[in-house]
Amino acid sequence: MRPTFTTLDRYLLQQVGGTLGSVFAIVISLMLFEHLPRLFEIVRLSGRKSYVVVQSMLALLPEYAGIGLLFGLYLAIGLTVRRLSLRSELDIVQASGIPTLRWLRFPALLTLVAAGLLLWNQGWLMPLGERRLNELGEQLQDGQFGLDLEPGVFTDFGHGVTVKFEGVDADSKELRGVFIQTPDTTFTANRGRLGFDFDNHVLIDLEEGRTVNGGNNQSLSFSHFHFDSGDRQSSGEGAMDAEKRRKAMGLPALLASNDAGDRAAGWSRLLWPAFMLLIPPIAIVLGKPVRRTSSSFGLMAGLILLVMFTRSTGFVAATSASSPPIIAIGVGAGWLAVTGTIVWGERRWGAGYIDEWLLKLGRLLTGRRWFHWRGWSGARKRPIGTELAA
> Rounded to an integer, what distance in angstroms lies between the CA atom of residue 228 and that of residue 313?
33
Question: Does residue 327 fall inside a structural domain?
Answer: yes
- The number of folded domains in the chain is 2
327 with 355, same domain?
A: yes
**Tens of pLDDT, residues 23-56:** 999 999 999 888 888 888 888 877 788 898 999 9
Question: Does residue 149 fall inside a structural domain?
Answer: no
pLDDT(234) > 80: no
Residues 156-166 as b/e (b if ≥16 CB within 10 A, e otherwise) read ebeeebebbbe
Residues with Cβ < 8 Å from 176, sequence gap 6 or more?
165, 166, 167, 168, 169, 190, 191
Percentage of the residues of the chain whose pLDDT score is greater than 70: 89
Q: Which of the listed residues 205, 229, 253 is the one where a domain comes to its end?
A: 229
329 with 201, same domain?
A: no
pLDDT(384) > 60: no
Q: Which of the listed residues 229, 251, 286 is the one where a domain comes to its end?
A: 229
202 with 335, same domain?
A: no
Q: How far is CA 58 from the centre of its chain?
A: 15
* Domain assignment of residue 170, given as a range: 160-229
Q: Which of the listed residues 229, 251, 283 is the one where a domain comes to its end?
A: 229
pLDDT(4) > 80: no
36 with 170, same domain?
A: no
pLDDT(9) > 60: yes
Amino acid 75: pLDDT? 95
257 with 222, same domain?
A: no
96 with 170, same domain?
A: no
- DSSP H stretches of helix in the chain: 2-42, 49-86, 89-95, 100-103, 105-120, 126-141, 234-247, 251-255, 260-276, 279-287, 297-318, 324-349, 353-366, 368-373, 384-389
Question: Does residue 152 fall inside a structural domain?
Answer: no
Which of residues 284 and 88 earns the better pLDDT score?
Answer: 284
**Tens of pLDDT, residues 282-340:** 999 999 988 777 778 899 999 999 999 999 999 999 887 778 899 999 999 999 999 99
pLDDT grade, residue 235 (50/70/90)? Answer: very low
Average pLDDT over residues 200-218: 84
Per the CB < 8 A criterion, the answer to whether 223 and 208 are in contact is: yes
Per the CB < 8 A criterion, the answer to whether 299 and 79 are in contact is: yes
pLDDT grade, residue 6 (50/70/90)? Answer: low
Amino acid 54: pLDDT? 92
Question: Does residue 192 fall inside a structural domain?
Answer: yes
Burial of 170 by CB count in 10 Å (0-12 exposed, 13-18 middle, 19+ buried)?
exposed
255 with 305, same domain?
A: yes
pLDDT(250) > 90: yes
Amino acid 246: pLDDT? 92
98 with 64, same domain?
A: yes
pLDDT(383) > 70: no
Q: Which residues pair with 58 in a beta bridge?
A: none
Question: Does residue 380 fall inside a structural domain?
Answer: no
pLDDT grade, residue 237 (50/70/90)? Answer: low
18 with 77, same domain?
A: yes
312 with 222, same domain?
A: no
Which of residues 278 and 235 earns the better pLDDT score?
Answer: 278
Question: Does residue 110 fall inside a structural domain?
Answer: yes
Amino acid 239: pLDDT? 59
Residues with Cβ < 8 Å from 390, sequence gap 6 or more?
382
Amino acid 335: pLDDT? 96
Point out the least confidently predicted range of 16-20, 66-70, 197-201. Answer: 197-201
Question: Does residue 290 fall inside a structural domain?
Answer: yes
Average pLDDT over residues 190-218: 83
> Rounded to an integer, what distance in angstroms lies between the CA atom of residue 381 and that of residue 374?
16
pLDDT(389) > 90: no
288 with 175, same domain?
A: no
118 with 41, same domain?
A: yes
Q: What is the pTM of this model?
A: 0.81
**Tens of pLDDT, residues 151-169:** 888 888 877 888 888 888 8
In the predicted model, what is the mean pLDDT of the chain?
84
Amino acid 378: pLDDT? 39
Residues with Cβ < 8 Å from 344, sequence gap 6 or more?
none
Question: Does residue 126 fall inside a structural domain?
Answer: yes
